[in-house]
């Protein structure tokens, strides 16, 4: 029963967060929608920020589990886009709230995992200095993170999937020119 209630709280919160900004959601809204009492909420979560922390962290952990290997730059981009697009409005509301740091921290972790997984596999059979590999991972992790943040700051208006695909094409053509 405890897991059911915890899950119901998270699902209700996400539903509400997809409808309205975080600062307009209260514990009262959640418990009324769930059909539970306030004590049940506080049994599972200390407060709304702890609920946000758990949900965002859980989403990133799910991303990591779904992508134990990454075989292309496009797959890296698609994995991060998938994370953001599943609850687009909820993420936008978290990003534009006092809990932005929670989202940013977990987004950076997710970007880091996806990029690191891909680049370590890509360079597994090639001689590369570990410090150079770390530098490439950091560069691409920050580029991925920065692109998502820039997209959020622009109001999520552009097609971020199209943007990442275009960047991948440009990167590949640049690498092909270097190899000639």
Walk along the chain (180 residues) and give the pLDDT tens digit of each residue: 568 889 999 999 999 999 999 999 999 999 999 989 999 999 999 999 999 989 888 887 887 787 777 777 677 677 777 777 778 888 889 988 998 898 899 889 888 888 888 888 878 887 888 898 899 889 988 988 898 899 888 888 887 778 877 877 777 665 455 444
Best CA proximity match to 107, nearest among 136, 73, 143, 83: 83
User: Rounded distance, CA 145 to CA 139, Å?
Assistant: 10
The reported pTM is 0.79
1-45 has CATH 2.60.40 classification: no
Q: Which residues contact 51 (CB under 8 A, 6 or more apart)?
A: 9, 10, 13, 45
In a 10 Å sphere around its CB, with 0-12 CB exposed, 13-18 middle and 19+ buried, how is residue 63 labelled? buried
């Amino acid at each position: 029963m405890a897991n059911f209630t915890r899950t119901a709280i998270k699902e209700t919160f996400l539903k509400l967060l997809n409808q309205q900004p975080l600062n307009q959601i209260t514990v009262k809204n959640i418990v009324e929608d769930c059909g539970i009492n306030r004590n049940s909420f506080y049994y599972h979560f200390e407060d709304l920020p702890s609920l946000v922390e758990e949900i965002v962290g859980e989403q990133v952990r799910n991303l990591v589990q779904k992508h134990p290997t990454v075989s292309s730059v496009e797959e890296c981009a698609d994995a991060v886009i998938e994370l953001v697009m599943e609850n687009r409005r909820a993420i936008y509301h978290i990003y534009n709230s006092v809990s932005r740091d929670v989202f940013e921290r977990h987004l950076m972790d997710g970007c880091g995992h996806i990029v690191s997984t891909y680049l370590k596999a890509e360079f597994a059979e090639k001689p590369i200095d570990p410090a150079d590999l770390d530098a490439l991972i950091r560069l691409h992790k920050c580029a991925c993170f920065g692109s998502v943040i820039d997209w959020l700051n622009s109001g999520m208006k552009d097609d971020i999937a199209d943007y990442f695909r275009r960047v991948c094409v440009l990167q590949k053509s640049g690498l092909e020119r270097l190899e000639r």
